[in-house]
Amino acid sequence: MCDYRTVGREQQEWRRIGEQVRQARLSLDKSQRELADEIGLDRTMLAKIENGSRRLDAVELARLAQALGVSMEYLIEPQPAVVSRRTAMLTEETNTPAARSSERLEIALAEWLRDVRQLVDVGVLRGRPMLRYPGTVASEGDARQAARWLRQQAGLGNEPIDSILDLCERSGQWVLVTDLPGDGASLIDGDLAVAVVSTEGEPGRRRATAAHELGHLIIGDEYSSDLGVSTSRAERESVIDAFAAELLLPTDAIFGVGKGGNATREWLIEFAARYRTSWILALRQAERAKVISPETLRALNSSPPTRAEFMEALGWVPQPDLAAVRVPRGYAQAVIEAWRTGRITRARAIELFHGQITDADLPEDDDPEIAP
């Protein structure tokens, strides 16, 4: 006797898998015919896969995953809900470059969550408790107070943040730095908080993106009741941006310098370099601290500093701490431990480093220093 409930669940699963295939395809701006040719299928067969009326065998699934640049697990497992970025599904009509970039970041986010979860499951990654601001955040001012609270929790005072990646890890958020276009995205899945940050843009922008995604964790879901259901997406993002700015460059750090609105360009360049922020963020924080006027901000923003000016100010330019490093320190240590103790293969260890190291960087398996 046929169990229609089981059949219905299976059909629903194949429709979900087909939709994930379609979303991944559109994110690469490929047509059905292009993808079908690439994996050796007729276009009509791929269309049936995407609408859930045709099942995939293991070989076809592997070919699809490779062609789409995703893991097989990504195609067959349900995807977690994204906290910081909830984009509409891609269609042929809404398939813009910006939408594609956002979708690829979300794909990377889901894959990154799976990587972190694997290390937790095999017992080598000990997650840190997620920090949450205990107060109410209903405005930009509240968000700035939350940033000052986090600095206090981390023992930073008003000093520059040495590594934003380390701060995220200490706060309970695991961040992956990726070469994908866009800015960033983050999510919370049970006891894990993860984020991805793009390397695109200048160093200050990357740090601001990482601080922004951390803000979603510290302040809470962007749809929290504190901000109110009538608050627009733009207003919510503005609140998180205020958190990020105050976290990276506290107004208290620059308050009282250049009293009367007379802070010099040279002094502001030095501050931007020391705190490794973008020029515009430094100017906006200086205006908020009342050491420059709105008119001065506009004038200074029209002529951003050159590399030579940064070198003259501190002897170095703002350092891109999110360029050379791709994965958090604790995560990297967990990958090595998992490999050394035989919980993952050498090839999987390389994958989990996301380009941080190559096979040549790992010692030989028979090295007595790394024997399990």
Q: Which of 6-20, 35-49, 313-327 has the highest mean predicted lDDT (pLDDT)?
A: 35-49
Residues making up the chain, counted from first to last: 372
Q: 87 falls in which pLDDT band (50, 70, 90)? A: low
Per the prediction, the chain carries an average pLDDT of: 85
Task: Find the range with the poorest average confidence among 91-95, 198-202, 286-290, 317-321.
Answer: 317-321
Distance CA 75, CA 22 (A): 10
Runs of H (alpha helix) within 69-202: 72-76, 97-121, 140-154, 164-170
What is the widest separation between alpha-carbon atoms in the chain? Answer: 85
Which domains are assigned to the chain?
4-78 (1.10.260.40), 251-305 (no CATH), 330-370 (no CATH)
pLDDT value of position 370:
40
Q: 83 falls in which pLDDT band (50, 70, 90)? A: very low
Burial of 269 (0-12, 13-18, 19+ CB in 10 A): buried
pLDDT value of position 88:
63
Percentage, residues of the chain above pLDDT 70: 85
Q: Could you tell me the pTM of the whole model?
A: 0.86
Q: What is the SS3 assignment for 360?
A: helix
The mean pLDDT of 175-182, rounded to a whole number, is 90
Whether the pLDDT of residue 225 is over 50: the answer is: no
Pairing outcome for strands 192-198 and 184-189: antiparallel
| CA quadruple 159, 165, 171, 176: dihedral, nearest 10 | 160
Whether the pLDDT of residue 227 is over 90: the answer is: no
pLDDT value of position 366:
47
Whether the pLDDT of residue 203 is over 50: the answer is: yes
Whether the pLDDT of residue 280 is over 90: the answer is: yes
pLDDT value of position 371:
36
